[in-house]
C-alpha cells in the first residue's frame, strides 16, 4: 500500500478527498488528507482554507513534509483561478496563456521546496467543477429536475468540459450552482460531497481531464 499525504486548498475539497476519493483508491493507497491553514500556524478548523501567500505556502508544506516521513508522496492540490498573486512573482509569459502559467507555478513551487516527494497539482477550478460531470445528479439531489436545462446550457457554453467552466470570480462553478440553488451556499461541504458520491469518481475521471491526470499520478 502506498502512503499518500494530500493537502487541499479548502474544506469542501478536503471533505471530497476524505469522503469520496479515498474510498475509491482504498485498495491501493493509504491517505492522510488535510486542509492548508490560511495563516501561519493557524490550524484551527475555523481558520483552515482560503488563499495563502507563496511564502506561507512554502513554510506550511515544509512543515507537512517534516511530519510525513512515512509517506511516499505529498501532494498539494490548489485551484489555478484565485491563486494568490505572490505565486506569480517572476512570471514573464503571456497573461492569457493558462498552460504556461501552470507550468511556471508548478516549477516554481516544486523548485522552492526541493523535495522529490512533493508534487504540486493545479486544478483549473474549484471542487464544484467536478459536479458538472453529471448535472443530473445535482438536480436530483434537490428534487428539481426542471433545473437540468440550465446546467446543460452552462456546460454547452464550455464545450461540455466541466473543468473549463469560468468567466470571472462571480461565475466560478460554485457560484453558478448557487445561482440555481441558493441553498448550496450553506451546504458546500455536505451537499457537495453527497452529490460527488452519487456521481462517482469514474464519471468525474471521464469528464475532467486534469483530474484524470492526477489520478494516474497515483
| CA dihedral for 123, 124, 129, 133, sign (positive or negative) | negative
155-180 pLDDT, tens digit each? 999 999 999 888 677 788 999 999 99
Q: Are strands 118-123 and 73-79 parallel, antiparallel or unpaired?
A: parallel
- CATH fold, domain 2-123, is Rossmann fold (3.40.50)
CA 165 centroid distance within chain: 14
58-68 pLDDT, tens digit each? 999 999 999 99
CA distance 73 to 6: 8
Domain regions of the chain by residue span: 2-123, 127-208
CA distance 184 to 203: 22
**Average pLDDT, integer, range 19-27:** 92
Answer whether 191's CB lies under 8 Å from 184's CB.
Answer: yes
Amino acid at each position: 500500500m502506498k502512503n499518500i499525504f494530500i493537502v487541499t486548498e479548502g474544506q469542501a475539497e478536503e471533505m471530497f478527498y476524505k469522503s469520496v476519493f479515498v474510498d475509491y483508491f482504498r485498495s491501493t493507497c493509504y491517505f492522510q488528507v488535510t486542509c492548508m491553514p490560511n495563516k501561519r500556524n493557524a490550524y484551527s478548523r475555523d481558520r483552515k482554507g482560503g488563499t495563502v501567500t507563496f511564502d506561507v505556502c512554502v513554510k506550511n508544506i515544509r512543515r507537512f513534509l517534516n511530519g510525513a516521513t512515512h509517506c511516499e508522496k505529498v501532494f498539494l492540490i490548489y485551484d489555478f483561478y484565485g491563486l494568490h498573486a505572490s505565486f506569480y512573482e517572476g512570471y514573464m509569459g503571456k497573461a492569457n496563456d493558462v498552460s504556461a502559467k501552470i507550468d511556471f507555478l508548478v516549477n516554481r513551487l516544486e523548485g522552492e521546496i526541493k523535495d522529490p516527494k512533493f508534487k504540486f497539482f493545479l486544478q483549473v477550478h474549484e471542487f464544484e467543477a467536478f459536479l458538472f460531470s453529471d448535472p443530473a445528479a445535482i438536480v436530483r439531489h434537490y428534487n428539481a429536475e426542471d433545473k437540468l436545462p440550465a446546467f446543460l446550457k452552462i456546460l454547452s457554453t464550455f464545450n461540455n468540459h466541466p473543468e473549463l467552466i469560468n468567466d470571472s470570480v462571480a461565475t466560478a462553478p460554485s457560484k453558478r450552482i448557487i445561482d440555481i440553488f441558493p441553498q448550496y451556499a450553506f451546504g458546500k461541504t455536505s451537499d457537495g460531497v453527497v452529490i460527488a458520491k452519487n456521481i462517482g469518481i469514474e464519471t468525474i475521471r471521464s469528464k475532467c481531464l486534469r483530474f484524470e491526470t492526477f489520478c494516474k499520478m497515483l
